[in-house]
């Protein structure tokens, strides 16, 4: 079974600074997908970024980027120029592709990020 570990329960960062959230996972699969989801105080889950394991290039979405290290099974999220609206729980998630249908996500326990003015 796949597992996802987020070793930092809580983090804080000054506004406009850069912060990196860690995520490691365990799988025997070669092809899979990784995600970062954000859950602000409203509790609405929002997809931040995704990475396909077969792609060597790290995914980037505006101020959000990942450092994907397949051999190390590591998938960290970097937030640049942090904004107050980035304050949220961040969840790392793993999905094994099943080409005949959908597969559920396996989530880590989350990292609570506070952006301080």
Partner 1 sequence: DGGITQSPKYLFRKEGQNVTLSCEQNLNHDAMYWYRQDPGQGLRLIYYSQIVNDFQKGDIAEGYSVSREKKESFPLTVTSAQKNPTAFYLCASSMGLALEQYFGPGTRLTVT
Select the span of 14-22, 55-63, 79-87, 99-107 touching partner 1 (CB under 8 A). Answer: 99-107
Buried b (16+ CB within 10 A) or exposed e, 27-54: beeeebbbbbbbeeeeeeeeebbebebe
Q: What is the spatial distance between Cα 55 and Cα 104, in angstroms, rounded to a whole number?
A: 21
- The contact pattern for partner 1, residues 44-83, with x = CB under 8 A and - = no contact, is xxxx--x---------------------------------
- Please identify which residue in 53, 68, 86, 108 interacts with partner 1, judged by CB under 8 A: 108
101 is an interface residue for partner 1 by CB under 8 A: yes
Count of C-beta atoms within a 10 Å radius of residue 116:
11
Decide: 4 and 96 in contact? Cβ < 8 Å: no
- To partner 1, the closest distance from the beta carbon of 109 in angstroms equals 4
Select the span of 14-22, 43-51, 54-62, 68-76 touching partner 1 (CB under 8 A). Answer: 43-51
- To partner 1, the closest distance from the beta carbon of 101 in angstroms equals 5
Report the SS3 class of residue 82.
Answer: coil
DSSP secondary structure letter of residue 112: E
Element spanning 16, H or E: none
Which positions touch partner 1 (CB under 8 A)? 9, 33, 35, 42-47, 50, 91, 95, 97, 99, 101-102, 104-105, 107-110
């Amino acid at each position: 079974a796949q597992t996802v570990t987020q070793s930092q329960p809580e983090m804080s960062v000054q506004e406009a600074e850069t912060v990196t959230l860690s995520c490691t996972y365990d799988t025997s699969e070669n092809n899979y997908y990784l995600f970062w989801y954000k859950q602000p105080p409203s509790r609405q889950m929002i997809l931040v970024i995704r990475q396909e394991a077969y792609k060597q290039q790290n995914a980037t979405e505006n101020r959000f980027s990942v450092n994907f290290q397949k051999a190390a099974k590591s998938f960290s999220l970097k937030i640049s120029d942090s904004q107050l609206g980035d304050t949220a729980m961040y969840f790392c998630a793993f999905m094994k592709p099943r080409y005949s249908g959908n597969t559920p996500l396996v989530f880590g326990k989350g990292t609570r990020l506070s952006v301080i003015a």
